[in-house]
Chains A and B, each alone.
Chain A
Amino acid sequence: MATATLDAPEVTARPTPTRRAGPRTTLTAGSSLGLGVAVTWFSLLVLIPLTAIVVTSAERGWSGYVDTITNPQTMAAIRLTVGQSLLVTGINVVMGTLIAWVLVRDRFWGKAVLDVVIDIPFALPTIVAGLVLLGLYGQGSPLGLDWAYTERAVMLALAFVTLPFVVRTVQPVLGELDHDVEEAAASLGAKRLTIFRRIILPSLAPAIAAGAALSFARAIAEYGSLVLLSGNKPFSTEVVSVRVLSFIENGSTASAAAVASLMLAVALFVIVVLDIVQRRVSRRG
């Protein structure tokens, strides 16, 4: 093939942006004020209390900290909470994306109702959620599933309260996707699954990761819906938040803070990992 020539080169493309390009800040007087207010508010609400927790946890020194964390009952609670939270986050990634897909792409009777009902786990007081779930999946369950006071009950309660996160983050992104792009891929020979994997998924990855991070964070901190359903049996169904509460009730604030600071670190780690995975997926193709 020879080449056709273009007489005049059209508008040249923008140069590749580099990190160093441009001034170091974009702050004007107005935006400095905005930033100041934002940082102050954030500090009062989040940064200072978080620092206080870390400080309190250090009250009894390093050995006290390690003792608290390595206590077998505490370890069991941490393992259960983190494990079930990861499991539920995984379920949400799949089910949440699926529900968002159905809500955006399909037309069916009752769609508007379903779209509203998705948010109910947000609206319901979590203790009520526990009560509802206990009725359905507890003793004398109409479904014949007696999961009360087991690990499954923990999973169920966490899945219930975290359901909307991935749905609500993915839904708007999916709705904005350009249909042309999928048609272009189809005419190039891509099957539906390939189109989903190579064209749609990379665009959804940031939204899915954001939803997953929210669900995980919510799950490791969940308390209300679990107290009724899980039974809080030490070494079996006792989660971290319950453990922290009993530390506080026994007047051991330092132990409570120690466990809390560890959970903070876990949450931070998982969120960072999710972000890395998300970057990988959205660049793949």
Chain B
Amino acid sequence: MSIEVTNVTKKYGDFYALDDVSVSLPTGQLTALLGPSGGGKSTLLRIIAGLDTADSGTVAIEGTNATRLPPQKRNVGFVFQHYAVFKHMTVAKNVAFGLEIRKTPKAEVRRRVDELLELVHLSQFADRLPSQLSGGQRQRMALARALAVEPTVLLLDEPFGALDAKVRKELREWLRRLHDEVHVTTVFVTHDQEEAMEVADEIVVINQGRVEQVGSPDELYDEPASDFVMGFLGEVTRLGPVRLRPHDVEVGVTPGRAGAIPGTITRLLRVGFEVRLQVELDRELGGGADPVSVVLSRSHARSLDLELGSKVWLTAAVGAVTVPAMVAV
């Protein structure tokens, strides 16, 4: 295990940012710390980097107890949401900073910087100042700077959070490919479940200072350990006694299937190839007064001839992921 976090607690006044968190992050993998804002994921990342200290508990990096080590001695690369560029230095100087601190010979520094700028596609910008780069370019420069010192682990704190949607999507694919080539153990913090699912080998879901679940994207999606994880990883609706994903609700236009609950379509919205329905149930079952959300493909909706006001019978699809619905939250 590359990073071993054991029983870490961090309090700000009365507020538990992290409450007895233990997590092992395997070597060479790309792990996402996923959770809502203020859930403690950034705090955990900063504690791993040594930028914050835990009130109790230990952090080990590659078998070395790092709990009391200052950030300078942990050999971690850290990438910040807002880039944290050294704005008075050129791109090349920024990347070279960590190497110069380590008294690396000049020729070696040049070689490494050239190599890294090539890696992040900024070779032609080597002599620019960071203020002359776009956000995405600045973040790639920050990544090259962090990688320059050959860190044991690379930590990214909401690395794409400040970028616009398109650049964000490009960069996350690029990060995945970069990781496949460089293979440095990488942990990144995100509150975007799509980003985590798309990029990470493993996801750690953190909420209210606790680890909710650890697993691969598929495991989390298919076998959510809690209501929270299920709700955070995708849309959830309630059908009778269970909660399930809107696309796992089967729609029939005739009664007859076992356990089918009748209802009326009160809203019908087409978004691209998807059709989203809101179905008002005819009778109350297990106390769910809210309408059921259903998502189905456009062709499927057309084949059923669904319209506003149509009478439908709903069941949970075979093999659907369901969790028992909790009584009114």
A1-B181, A11-B134 known; A184+B170 contact, CB < 8 A? no
The reply to whether B149 and A189 contact each other, CB–CB distance below 8 Å, is: yes
User: Which residues of A in the span 86-138 have a Cβ within 8 Å of any Cβ on B?
Assistant: none
Q: Is B311's beta carbon under 8 Å from chain A?
A: no
The reply to whether A184 and B115 contact each other, CB–CB distance below 8 Å, is: no
- Which size class do B's interface residues fall under? 35 or more
Q: Is A25's beta carbon under 8 Å from chain B?
A: no
Give the residue of B88, B118, B121, B149 whose beta carbon is less than 8 angstroms from that of A188: B149
Shortest Cβ distance from residue B259 to the other chain A in the assembled complex, whole angstroms: 47
User: Which residues of A in the span 169-185 have a Cβ within 8 Å of any Cβ on B?
Assistant: 178, 180-181, 183-185
Stretch touching chain A among B70-78, B227-235, B277-285: B70-78
User: Which residues of A in the span 1-28 have a Cβ within 8 Å of any Cβ on B?
Assistant: 1-14, 16
Which chain B residue lies CB-closest to A8?
Answer: B170
Q: Mark B109-145, 1 if CB is under 8 A from A, else 0.
A: 0000001001101000100100011101100001001
Give the residue of A1, A2, A4, A203 whose beta carbon is less than 8 angstroms from that of B88: A203
Residues of B near A9 (CB, < 8 A) are 121
The reply to whether B71 and A181 contact each other, CB–CB distance below 8 Å, is: no
Residues of B near A6 (CB, < 8 A) are 121, 170, 174
Residues of B near A199 (CB, < 8 A) are 86
Q: Is A43's beta carbon under 8 Å from chain B?
A: no
Residues of A near B142 (CB, < 8 A) are 184
Q: Is B177's beta carbon under 8 Å from chain A?
A: yes
Additional A-B contact list (14), CB under 8 Å, known A3-B118, A188-B98: A1-B181, A6-B170, A13-B128, A178-B84, A180-B80, A185-B97, A186-B71, A187-B49, A188-B145, A189-B101, A190-B72, A199-B86, A202-B88, A285-B93
B residues with a Cβ closer than 8 A to A are: 49-51, 70-72, 74, 76-78, 80, 82, 84-89, 93, 97-98, 101-102, 115, 118-119, 121, 125, 128, 132-134, 136-137, 142, 145-146, 148-149, 166-167, 170-171, 173-174, 177-178, 180-182
Q: What are 23 A-B interface contacts by the 8 Å CB criterion?
A: A3-B121, A10-B171, A13-B128, A14-B132, A178-B84, A180-B80, A180-B82, A181-B85, A181-B86, A183-B80, A185-B97, A187-B50, A187-B76, A187-B77, A187-B146, A188-B98, A189-B72, A189-B149, A190-B72, A190-B97, A202-B88, A284-B88, A285-B86
